[in-house]
Amino acid sequence: MTKIRILVGSETGTALDVADALEETLTANNCSVAVAEDPSLDDLQHPDEVLLICTSSTGVGDFPSNINPFVIALNDTPPNIAGRRYGVISLGDSSFETYAAAATRLDGMFSDIGAVRIGEPLFLDALETFTPDKDAITWVKQWVTLL
């Protein structure tokens, strides 16, 4: 059984709703799922888990406040997650110049410390979709086959 930990960054709840929808789908697809609503470095302490970043951007390309402490800690004291597999889901709005900046930066930080992204990121653009949870479910069914 594949173990997946979803690291949520959400300012107004949309990314958290997506993560909850994914938990249901992944569980039905023979995965065990933990949703980290307030991620911390402790969430990286399980080498057998695949990580799934699911974060929006806020402000001017900023991280949502619930995931910001995690990002700071990741930057200050990078853990050894070399070889760890992860995926990326971005929620954003392409009318912002800083479109998808938070997820893109976190993707880069994970890559810089040797984690290995599986598949291409999913970009959920609020200008293009009113059903990010359904779009994410479609994407994750494909993503999970890559693990």
Ligand X SMILES: Cc1cc2nc3c(=O)[nH]c(=O)nc-3n(C[C@H](O)[C@H](O)[C@H](O)COP(=O)(O)O)c2cc1C
Residues forming contacts to ligand X in the complex (CB under 6 A) are 10-15, 56-61, 64, 91-93, 96, 98-101, 126
| CB proximity list for 7: less than 8 A, separation 6 or greater | 36, 39, 43, 51, 52, 53, 54, 55, 67, 70
Considering beta carbons, is residue 15 or 44 the nearer one to ligand X?
A: 15
H/E run at residue 126: none
What is the rounded distance in angstroms from the CA atom of residue 125 to the CA atom of residue 93? 5
Considering beta carbons, is residue 14 or 40 the nearer one to ligand X?
A: 14
Pick from 63, 36, 66, 65: nearest CA to 49: 36
CB of 65 to ligand X, least distance (A): 10
Considering beta carbons, is residue 81 or 140 the nearer one to ligand X?
A: 140
CB of 56 to ligand X, least distance (A): 3
Residue nearest to ligand X (CB): 92
CB of 83 to ligand X, least distance (A): 29
